[in-house]
């Protein structure tokens, strides 16, 4: 394999979105979503992370661009959530969650706010307003999750 091919293989398309659970989700329904995600991602060669905070999902998906885009299409039609808002998408050199079919965390709004560098008490609405407003925030979220799952 040439070095150009190696480089191409390492690249990934990354999408970050937020959405709203249609109702407060009991643990077994959250687990079902996670199983669906992990099975679907294994099949597609997609990796990523999902967090659920106070009725809000934040998800990162990474993989081949066309695959990630078509998966986003399926996920957008899932009746278990609504108000999907893509706040960052980009081609990156390296998938951040390449060893995770779908990492999962259930942080508090305060934890997510601290990843974002927000001061004081923050609600999930404050977190969302901040995340939707700035592109640096996508990488802060990603590194916050990475740090938390490494603990």
Q: Which residue in 98, 32, 27 sits closest to 61, CA to CA?
A: 98
Stretch that binds ligand FMN, among 34-42, 89-97, 112-120, 131-139 (CB under 6 A): 34-42
Per-residue tokens: 89: 């998408």
Helix (H) or strand (E) holding 20: strand 12-21
Question: Least CB distance from residue 84 to ligand FMN, whole Å?
Answer: 9
74 to 113, contacts with ligand FMN by CB under 6 A? 74-75, 78, 80-81, 102
Which residues, other chains included, contact 90 with Cβ-Cβ below 8 Å and sequence gap of 6+? 13, 14
Task: Return d(Cα 13, Cα 103) in angstroms, integer.
Answer: 17
With CB atoms as reference, the residue minimizing the distance to ligand FMN is: 40
Q: Which of 14, 18, 41, 137 binds ligand FMN (CB under 6 A)?
A: 41
Q: What are the residues binding ligand FMN (CB under 6 A)?
A: 19, 33, 36-37, 40-41, 48, 50, 57, 59, 61, 71, 74-75, 78, 80-81, 102
């Amino acid at each position: 394999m040439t070095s150009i091919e190696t480089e191409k293989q390492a690249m990934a398309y990354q999408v970050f979105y937020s959405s709203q659970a249609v109702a407060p989700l009991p643990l077994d329904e959250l687990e079902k979503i996670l199983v669906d995600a992990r099975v679907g991602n294994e099949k597609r060669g997609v990796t990523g992370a999902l967090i659920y905070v106070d009725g809000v999902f934040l998800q990162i998906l990474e993989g081949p661009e066309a695959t990630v885009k078509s998966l986003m299409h399926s996920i957008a039609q899932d009746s278990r959530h609504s108000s999907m808002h893509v706040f960052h998408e980009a081609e990156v050199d390296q998938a951040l969650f390449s060893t995770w079919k779908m990492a999962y965390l259930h942080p508090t709004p305060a934890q997510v706010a601290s990843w974002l560098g927000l001061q004081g008490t923050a609600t999930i609405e404050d977190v969302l307003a901040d995340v939707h407003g700035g592109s640096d925030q996508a990488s802060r979220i990603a590194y916050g999750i990475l740090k938390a799952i490494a603990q």
